[in-house]
Each structure stands twice: as structure tokens, then as C-alpha cells.
């Protein structure tokens, strides 16, 4: 809204200063720094500390908050009366708090010596309609490492459910995220983006196949037994891996996953780690907050492998589960989630047409959602306008009724003129001060709010 008015408070645009989407994305922010936020948030008191930092720095104790923490991103989606310029400080302060709790992460962070100064460069900060649009794209998997991967929607739903359970979501977040889920479903239904779906688990196997042409001759070990481990194991099997083992802290879960895949073996994590030298491919996909494979503990065992025989380690976990220093050993190749972006570029291009159709759907849904939001806000403004008129009429009638003779015809006319004068007083002031209205974005409800100064009228009555 652009108005040159010397009196009165102009109304806010839709979402003006009330929605913020900010985060560290794999394409912008190094994995070592993303780990600071992800591991800090995973601590028992991490969510409460982050909420406290947001309240103190951004000036809104009641802001609605959804945290989206995945292997590719650490994002904050906020709704409220926010001091958005403070968002970088929120990320910095939370990272510093994490280092006080987990000093073991400091050497990794120090690889980026100026990370405190560079944090702002590594964050994507979007406000209002841009933030809304971005959230819809994230839910529809247009912003994923692997374009069209099917699991981000589930991760988004989990993030929202967790926020609801903590009491961090009210009306605005609920309306917005529910629409994001509906749009994602529509994109999956009406485009090919979700067909033959690929994920980071698929990408991990593809990067292995760039080292080993024929997986039939190689033994594979997957660390973890969750959803991504399941996908990875199935894709390894589909690509003809010679043998597949799944190792997990809970052997029951490992055996449950293995039972679903022909020829797959379920192991206890300790057993799997003890036999590292038997495997050519090791893929880590766990929720552990620390390295499972460490150079000082497992480097010698990996070095005892047959001379000249390569071993591929792929880490698709954030926080990472594989010590990157293992890559210093001879014939050991270590890849993490940031490496997957390069190897999946060709697959991404093949899906661009579906992505364009998905973007058209998102744009149409975005316009409809904003229109519905404006209608809802217009009804609020109309209600306020109605209350404003009733208040003026009531006050003037009460003045006239104080007359001992009741309201004569002349007094009725005087009362009506007083009501009319007060109704147009603020609009007349805007005319006299040559206020300007030169935007097409503002709704009729906001026009009412602006012309009749409804905010000020409500404040004067409170």
C-alpha cells in the first residue's frame, strides 16, 4: 500500500509483517552449520530455548511457530507481530546456545571461520505472500534436493503436528499449513511430479552406482531402520545389490525391515559395525545426533579391507552420522547430502515440465487462498465498521434523549446531521491533507479501515 497521508494509520496489506519463512537450505548453507540448529533443536530443551529466543528478540510472546528440520533444511515458519529484522540474530543465538550444550560440534563449525558473520548470507528470509508461496512450494516438493521427492510432505505434516502438540500453532498456522497439504495433494494428483517418485534414498544409491557399475558383486550395509533406510534398501534391491544388511540399535526394527526385502538381513548395530570390513557400500540413514562411524574408532577396520578395493560411504543423515575424515583414508569415498545435489542434476531436468505445471497449480491456489483470506478479513472490517456506526448513533441519540421534552423533529434532524458529520470526519480529513491511494492490492475492508480510522476508534473506546 502506498499512501501519502498526514493523518490516520494506513491499513496493513495481507500478511503485512505477520508471516515469516526463514531457513537454512542445502543450496545456501553448509551442512556443518545446518547441523548446529538441527542438533540443538533435537535436544530435550531445544524447542523451548528456541521459542524463548524468538520471543525475546522478535517481540511477540504469542507468535505461532512451526520448525521444519530435515536433512536438507532447518526452517522457521512464523506468524505474529514480528520484528523480522531480528531473525538472523535468532539463528545466531540458537547456534551459540547449541555450542554451549554440544561443544563437540565446534571444530566442524570452525571450518567456516566467519560463520557468525556469514549466517545472514546463508539464510533465505521471506515475508508475507512470498513466505506463503514458498511454503506451498516446499510442501509440493519443488524446493527439495531431489525434485519431486515424496517424503517432504510427510516431514511437513510431522513438523506441524509437533508444533500443535507443543501449543505453538493457532488459527493462522493451521489455516496455512492445511492449505499447503491440500495443494501438495493436488500437485501429486494432477501432475507427473510424484510418479516414479525419487528421494534422497534413491539418490544415495545412484551415487553408489557411479562408483560401482554392477552392484551384484558388492555387499551393502544400511545403518538405520526408518523410512529413508527402508527406501534405500528397496532401491538397492531393485538395482540388483548382491547382498543387503540393515543394522539398527533395535534389532527388532532391523529384522522387521529386512523381512520386507528378499535376501535382506537384519543386524544389531554393534554387530554391523564390527563387520565393517566386509562391506563395499555403507549408507547411513539414522536419527542419531552424532557420528556413528568415526575415523579413530573404525578407520583401522576399514583400512584392513582387501588392498585396492574401494569402499563407498554415503551419509544421508543430518546431523551427519559418518565422520568426513574417513574420506582421508585410501580407497574410501565419503559422500554427504550436499554431494547428492550434483549427481541428481540430470534427474531434476527431466522433471522440470511437471514442475512447471505444479507451479501453475500453486500460483492459482495461492491467489485463491489470498482471496479467501481477504474475504475473511473484510468481514472483520465490516463488523468493525458496523460497530463504529452503532457507537456514533448511540452516542448522539443519548445526547438528544437527555432533553426533558424528548426528541422533537428538529432534534432528530440535528442528531442525524451529527451522525453523518462524524461518519465522514476522518475521510474529510484525508481529503484535506491530499492523501493518496495508488495500489490495487488493498481490499474493500482495508478501504473501510483506512477511510473511517477504525483502528483509532477502537483504541479510543478501549
Rg, the chain, Cα only? 29
Whether 71 sits among the annotated catalytic residues: the reply is: yes
Between CA 223 and CA 281 the distance in angstroms is 11
Active-site entry in 29, 71, 169, 264: 71
Between CA 168 and CA 407 the distance in angstroms is 55
Angle at 69 between CA 68 and CA 73, to 5 degrees: 95
β-strand 123-127 against 19-25: which pairing, if any?
A: antiparallel
Single out the residue of 119, 183, 166, 104 nearest to residue 363, CA to CA.
183
The three cell numbers of residue 151 are 517424503
The three cell numbers of residue 190 are 494432477
Q: Is 314 helix (H, G, I), strand (E, B) or coil?
A: strand
Q: Is 73 helix (H, G, I), strand (E, B) or coil?
A: strand
* Residue pair 257/198 in contact by the 8 Å Cβ criterion: no
Element of type H or E holding 229: helix 227-238
Look-up of cell digits 531480528: 86
Q: Is 313 helix (H, G, I), strand (E, B) or coil?
A: strand
Element of type H or E holding 20: strand 19-25
Q: How far is CA 78 from CA 107, 125, 445, in A?
A: 31, 11, 25
Strands (E), 51-163: 64-69, 73-79, 123-127
Which residues have C-beta within 8 Å of that of residue 165, sequence separation ≥ 6? none
* Residue pair 462/18 in contact by the 8 Å Cβ criterion: no
Contacts 24+ apart (CB under 8 A), 26-29: 26/72, 26/73, 26/145, 26/337, 26/338, 26/341, 27/341, 28/121, 28/122, 28/123, 28/124, 29/122, 29/123
β-strand 332-335 against 64-69: which pairing, if any?
A: unpaired
For the chain, the distance separating the N- and C-terminal CA atoms, rounded to the nearest angstrom, is: 27
Single out the residue of 157, 324, 312, 159 nearest to residue 232, CA to CA.
312
- Phi/psi for 449 (5° steps) reads -60, -40
Q: What DSSP assignment string belongs to 431-462? A: HHTT-----S---HHHHHHHHTTHHHHHHHH-
Specify which residues 219 forms β-bridges with: 243
> Catalytic positions, please?
71
Amino acid at each position: 500500500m502506498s499512501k501519502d497521508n498526514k493523518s490516520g494509520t494506513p491499513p496493513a496489506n495481507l500478511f503485512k509483517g505477520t508471516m515469516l519463512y526463514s531457513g537454512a537450505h542445502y543450496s545456501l548453507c553448509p551442512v556443518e552449520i545446518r547441523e548446529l540448529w538441527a542438533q540443538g533443536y533435537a535436544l530435550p530443551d531445544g524447542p523451548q530455548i528456541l521459542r524463548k529466543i524468538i520471543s525475546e528478540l522478535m517481540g511477540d510472546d504469542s507468535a505461532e511457530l512451526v520448525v521444519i528440520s530435515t536433512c536438507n533444511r532447518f526452517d522457521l515458519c512464523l506468524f505474529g507481530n514480528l520484528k523480522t529484522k531480528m531473525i538472523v540474530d535468532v539463528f545466531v543465538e540458537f547456534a551459540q546456545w547449541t555450542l554451549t550444550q554440544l561443544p563437540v560440534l565446534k571444530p566442524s563449525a570452525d571450518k567456516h571461520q566467519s560463520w557468525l558473520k556469514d549466517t545472514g548470507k546463508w539464510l533465505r528470509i521471506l515475508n508475507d505472500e512470498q513466505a506463503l508461496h514458498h511454503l506451498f512450494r516446499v510442501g509440493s516438493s519443488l524446493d527439495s534436493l531431489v525434485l519431486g521427492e515424496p517424503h517432504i510432505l510427510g516431514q511437513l505434516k510431522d513438523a506441524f503436528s509437533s508444533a500443535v502438540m507443543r501449543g505453538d500453532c493457532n488459527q493462522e498456522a493451521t489455516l496455512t499449513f492445511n492449505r499447503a497439504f491440500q495443494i501438495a495433494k493436488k500437485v501429486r494428483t494432477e501432475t507427473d511430479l510424484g510418479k516414479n517418485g525419487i528421494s534422497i534414498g534413491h539418490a544415495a544409491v545412484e551415487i553408489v552406482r557411479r562408483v560401482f557399475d554392477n552392484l551384484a558383486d558388492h555387499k551393502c550395509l544400511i545403518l538405520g531402520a526408518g523410512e529413508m533406510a527402508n527406501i534405500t534398501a528397496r532401491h538397492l534391491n531393485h538395482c540388483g545389490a548382491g547382498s543387503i544388511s540393515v543394522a539398527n540399535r533395535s534389532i527388532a526394527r532391523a529384522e522387521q525391515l529386512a523381512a520386507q526385502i528378499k535376501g535382506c538381513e537384519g543386524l544389531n548395530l554393534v554387530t554391523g559395525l564390527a563387520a565393517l570390513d566386509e562391506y563395499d557400500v555403507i549408507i547411513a540413514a539414522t536419527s542419531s545426533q552424532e557420528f556413528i562411524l568415526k575415523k579413530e574408532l573404525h578407520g583401522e577396520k576399514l583400512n584392513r579391507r582387501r588392498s585396492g578395493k574401494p569402499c563407498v560411504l554415503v551419509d544421508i543423515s543430518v546431523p551427519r552420522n559418518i565422520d568426513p575424515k574417513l574420506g582421508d583414508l585410501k580407497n574410501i569415498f565419503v559422500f554427504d547430502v550436499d554431494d547428492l545435489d550434483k549427481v541428481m542434476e540430470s534427474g531434476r531436468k527431466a522433471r522440470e515440465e511437471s514442475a512447471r505445471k505444479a507451479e501453475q497449480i500453486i500460483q492459482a491456489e495461492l491467489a485463491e487462498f489470498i482471496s479467501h483470506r481477504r474475504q475473511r478479513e473484510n468481514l472483520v472490517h465490516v463488523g468493525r465498521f458496523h460497530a463504529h456506526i452503532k457507537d456514533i448513533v448511540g452516542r448522539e441519540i443519548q445526547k438528544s434523549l437527555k432533553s426533558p421534552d424528548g426528541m422533537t423533529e428538529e432534534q432528530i434532524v440535528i442528531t442525524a446531521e451529527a451522525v453523518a458529520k462524524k461518519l465522514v470526519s476522518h475521510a474529510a480529513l484525508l481529503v484535506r491533507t491530499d492523501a493518496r491511494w495508488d495500489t490495487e492490492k488493498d481490499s474493500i475492508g482495508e478501504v473501510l479501515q483506512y477511510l473511517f480510522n477504525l483502528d483509532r476508534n477502537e483504541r479510543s473506546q478501549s
